[in-house]
Amino acid sequence: MPSLFTGYRLGGLSLPNRTVMAPMSRVRAAAGGLATPSMATYYAQRATAGLIVTEGIQPSLIGQSNPGTPGLHTDEQRDSWRQVTEAVHVNGGRVFAQIMHGGRVSHPETTGFQPVGPSAVAGAGSVFTPSGPQPMPVPRALATGEVADHVHSYAHAARRAAEAGFDGVELHGANGYLISQFLSSNANLRDDRYGGSIVNCIRFAVEAAAATVEAVGATRTGIRLSPGGGIWDAVEDDAVELNTALLTELARLDLAYVHLVGTADEDTLLRLRRAWPGTLIVSPTMPGGAKQTGRSEADHWLGLGADLIAFGRAFLANPDLVERLRTGLPLAPVDESTFYQGGDDGYITYPPYRHTA
């Protein structure tokens, strides 16, 4: 079994270990969706990860889900990310930009637009807005002829990411956002080439991945999936059949990796591991769940065939997480009240482990 601390070759990158900093929203972008010096510090502090995947970055204004999130759809936004990629690289790290189109998980108060989705079906629950939580609105169903614009928004953002110095991009196909909505049996009620059958429901994801590969190359393109997760009310009726079909098509593109979230039982994830011939990142625990990924979960999944292991909240309070895991040092607790409050407190103020005499 490979060790969490052995190197791994990912496309053109040599990773010094098999830890991945999972994408986590921190909603600390400046006005206009710009990356900030504090964001550069935050990611640079965690550059000992084998790979960093950034928070979700919207590929268009209509694709923005939450207030305070960064973008990659203007030249100014692209330029603002250079301070982040340079800081990570100077500190010896590698970083992919996660491209996230929120689809129906958005609100006019945030973007100025009615959200879009595969069908005019509102998700259950509330979304964040500048004035506080609001019920998720009914999205405008995308016409067949305009779906391609949203497919290519991922590729356009990926080009800007490459220009900004990112080592690659991860398409956010998980957690109930736009790609996940097209995969969903209750969010996607279409009867055209993007809905109905499994072949049609996976088409948007495959086209977005193919367009991104054409834009920046297969070795610089990954995708995150949450099989059967039901997050943001995006339900998948047959997660195994659906995701197996999707992985079969994605395998033809020779992507850098697939990143599976632990939203399904172990047997389902293992069946999907067998369906995917390439590099597999596993996030062993549910997003936002009570349990955090630790060394035991990482070793378990490496033994089951995962190549890389993604850690979420543990990386927030432990910028030196890799060393703490390697040497068995205790992990600092994370202050959840600072997740989305803005500012530097609870963002770049967590120190590395301090040894006492």
Active site members: 177
Q: Could you give the angle at which helices 203-216 and 239-251 cross, rounded to 10 degrees?
A: 30
Question: Count of residues for the chain?
Answer: 357
58: which strand partners? 71
Single-letter amino acid, residue 82: R
CB 116, CB 142: distance < 8 Å: yes
Main-chain phi, psi angles of 34, to 5 degrees: -90, 145
Closest CA to 247 of 274, 219, 207, 208: 274
DSSP three-state, residue 278: coil
Q: List CB contacts of 79: < 8 A, sequence separation 6 or more.
A: 164
The amino acid at residue 335 is D
Return d(Cα 16, Cα 92) in angstroms, integer: 10
- Residues 278 and 299: their CA atoms lie apart, in Å, by 19
Neighbours of 140 (CB within 10 A): 16
CA nearest 99: which of 145, 158, 41? 158
207's enclosing H/E stretch is: helix 203-216
Choose among 45, 105, 41: nearest CA to 69: 105
Q: To the nearest 10°, the Cα dihedral for 42, 47, 48, 50?
A: 120
DSSP track, 106-138: --HHHHSS--EESSS-PPSSEE--TTS-EEPPP
